[in-house]
Amino acid sequence: MRVMIADDNPETLQRLATTLRAVRGVTLGTCTGDLSATYHAAESRPPQAVMIAERLTRLPEFEVMQKLFQALGIRCVVVADGDAPQARLASRLDGSGIRVTHLDASPEEVRQCLLELLLDRSTAVEPPDGPAPCDMAFQPGRLILIGASTGGVDALIRVLSGFPANCPPTLIVQHTSGTFSAGLARLLDRRTSAHVTEAEDGIALEPGKILIAPGKDHHLELARAGSLRGRLRAEPPRSGHRPSVDALFQSAVPVAARVSAAILTGMGRDGAAGMAALRNAGAHTIGQDQASSLVYGMPRAAHEIGAVAIQLPLEEIGPALLQSCIRRSAA
């Protein structure tokens, strides 16, 4: 069993490394000091588990990294500073597929924790959702726009898993740390028949291409430059975010009749105003329903102002987006 360590304190990192070297059947992998380095090292050579200092789990990026690890089948052990924090952490993380240990745990205690984690089937990576979808006939010029935040990694995997290799050009804003957007694109690319990549300024919008808003320095928008293209704009945050779902949705209002847009699970109101403008201009708009949303914030805000034409459970959103873009026969 190969185990990585993520700890921003060199002293405690060394203590954990010493303990792991004494655990039977365990090989010490890469040791890192921040979540971004941890994810990229784990993605390039996935370990069976990662031991993460409690301090790093308090960072907002941990939620995204945890979801990415779950999708890759990598387990997590959170290392508390003592017994009292361990009990508190165990209560907070109950049911999340994460185990908790403490800094002074013996090699045998760590071994038992790792074994329990590896034997927990609830943490196993989910298999792909059936065979790859067949190509479909879509109306020329159709576009799909998606906005998501908290819980969005899982939601995007579900939505995009049914997209065929010739899906309409799709642009996505997912609120996350800029250091994780490239990893998210690679993860999603493995879970869909279409090609997922980070957007670049001036990138062409082509069938079968899904673009993820990169980093936290630019908004992803639509721009006309002879033909429609993706544009990155270094402007202030909108609705508290950069990239912003509102910025993407608002930029598509001039071509709203060609757009199908969905707003998925997330905290706050980003995307609500932009989706309302899209719907008023003729776009087809979908909101994730409350029952299937991890956080029913963004979808609720959009629904309450009349921006959502229809609310659907998560499993129906991908097929609904594609169906709205399918080429209609002359009859």
Q: Is 149 a catalytic residue?
A: yes
DSSP string, 3-70: EEEE-S-HHHHHHHHHHHHTSTT-EEEEEESSHHHHHHHHHHS--SEEEEEHHHHTSTHHHHHHHHHH
Q: Is 175 a catalytic residue?
A: yes
Nearest-angstrom CA–CA distance, 211 and 160:
12
Q: Is 40 a catalytic residue?
A: no
Nearest CA to 51 out of 18, 70, 77, 28 is that of 77
Q: Which of 102, 241, 251, 270 is catalytic?
A: 270
Q: Which of 7, 149, 246, 293 is catalytic?
A: 149
In this structure, the number of other CB atoms found within 10 A of the CB of residue 284 comes to 22
Dihedral sign, CA of 13, 18, 21, 24? Answer: negative
Cα–Cα distance list, 107 to 50, 137, 258, 288, 318 (Å): 16, 58, 60, 45, 46
The gap from C-alpha 134 to its chain's centroid, in whole angstroms, comes to 25
In which residue are the tokens 């890469």 written?
30
CB 263 within 8 A of CB 271: yes
Max CA-CA distance within the chain? 73
Strand pairing partners for 272? Answer: none
Q: Which of 7, 161, 175, 260 is catalytic?
A: 175
In this structure, the number of other CB atoms found within 10 A of the CB of residue 51 comes to 28
Strand pairing partners for 2? Answer: 27
Residues annotated as part of the active site: 149, 175, 270
